[in-house]
């Protein structure tokens, strides 16, 4: 029979450690945010480039809300700080849970976390450098001449953040597939056999997550199909030798 005092002291130690990790994570995020605040306007200018570069000469964004021109850059700065601080935040989470993991779990968790962060960054970069310029060029090229595009600063920011999240999260597909295989829920063979259904699901998901235009849907669906194939190969490489021990490994 376990000692209640021992269990209580252990729980308190975990809570104290959790609080310390949360404080360190928030402090790191605060430092990054303070460092980026002087560059708020510059950050928004860079974010607006994919759209502004497609607008007619002399035309720019507007702020329908009087405070929009002030809060939109600040909102972007916060999300940029969060974006930059993700590795530090994940490290704090890892430092909290790592002592309770087995050696094999630690060996697998580190590359999986690193791959997840890298793929999320890659998805956001793909959206910024390729998807947004292409989509805005398509939308501005085929608009009727009688319609003037006067985008609102806050609405544009929300739109771009949604695109970043959609592409960043979608690029996590290989990591999700590897985790499912390691848990023993599926096998690489089942992933290969379900490729056709997966492709249909990918195109449906792309249609839901992206704006209602074919260009952005294809630019999300095609990379996801490629990532699905990469996920199959990665899952086959990392699959436990004994499938019956997949969930316990």
Which pLDDT score is estimated for 213?
77
Residue 247 lies inside a defined structural domain of this protein: no
Residue 104 confidence (pLDDT): 78
Q: What is the pTM of this model?
A: 0.84
Residues contacting residue 140 through CB under 8 Å, at least 6 positions apart:
54, 55, 149
Q: Is residue 151 part of a domain?
A: yes
pLDDT value of position 238: 81
CB atoms within 10 A of CB 196: 8
Confirm whether 16 is domain-assigned: yes
Where the chain has pLDDT below 70, the residues are 1-9, 240-249
Residue for token digits 């956001």?
Answer: 124
Separation of alpha carbons 1 and 11, rounded Å:
17
Q: How confident is the model at residue 242, as a pLDDT?
A: 57
* Count of the separate structural domains present in the chain: 1
Report the C-alpha gap between 63 and 152 in whole angstroms.
5
Which pLDDT belongs to residue 240? 66
89 inside domain: yes
- In the DSSP assignment, the letter for residue 56 is P
- Residue 88, CA distances (Å) to 19, 94, 96, 175 in order: 16, 10, 13, 20
Range of the domain at 103: 4-241
Q: Is residue 248, in this structure, part of any structural domain at all?
A: no
Residue 246 lies in a domain: no
User: Is 226 among the domain residues?
Assistant: yes
Residue 65 falls within a domain, yes or no? yes
pLDDT of residue 247: 45
Q: How many CA atoms lie within 13 Å of 212's alpha carbon, on the beta-carbon side? A: 0
Query: What is the phi/psi pair of residue 171, to 5°?
Result: -70, -5
Quote the tokens at residue 164.
């970043």
pLDDT at 39: 96
Residue 88: the pLDDT is 94
């Amino acid at each position: 029979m376990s000692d209640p005092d021992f269990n209580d002291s252990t729980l308190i130690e975990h809570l104290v450690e959790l609080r310390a990790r949360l404080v360190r994570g928030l402090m790191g995020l605060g430092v990054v945010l303070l460092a980026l605040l002087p560059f708020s306007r510059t950050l928004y200018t860079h974010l607006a480039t994919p759209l502004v570069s497609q607008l007619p000469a002399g035309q720019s964004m507007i702020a329908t809300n009087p405070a929009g021109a002030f809060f939109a850059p600040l909102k972007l700065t916060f999300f940029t700080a969060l974006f930059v601080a993700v590795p530090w935040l994940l490290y704090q989470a890892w430092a909290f849970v790592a002592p309770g993991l087995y050696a094999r779990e630690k060996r697998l968790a580190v590359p999986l976390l690193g791959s997840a962060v890298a793929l999320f960054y890659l998805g956001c970069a793909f959206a910024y450098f390729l998807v947004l310029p292409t989509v805005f060029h398509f939308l501005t090229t085929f608009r009727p001449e009688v319609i003037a595009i006067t985008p609102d600063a806050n609405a544009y920011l929300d739109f771009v953040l949604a695109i970043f999240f959609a592409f960043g999260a979608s690029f996590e597909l290989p990591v999700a597939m590897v985790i499912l295989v390691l848990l023993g829920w599926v096998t690489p063979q089942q992933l290969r056999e379900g490729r056709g259904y997966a492709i249909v699901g990918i195109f449906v998901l792309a249609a839901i997550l992206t704006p209602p235009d074919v260009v952005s849907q294809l630019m999300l669906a095609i990379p996801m199909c490629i990532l699905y194939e990469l996920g199959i190969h990665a899952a086959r490489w990392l699959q436990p030798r004994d499938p019956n021990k997949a969930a316990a490994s």
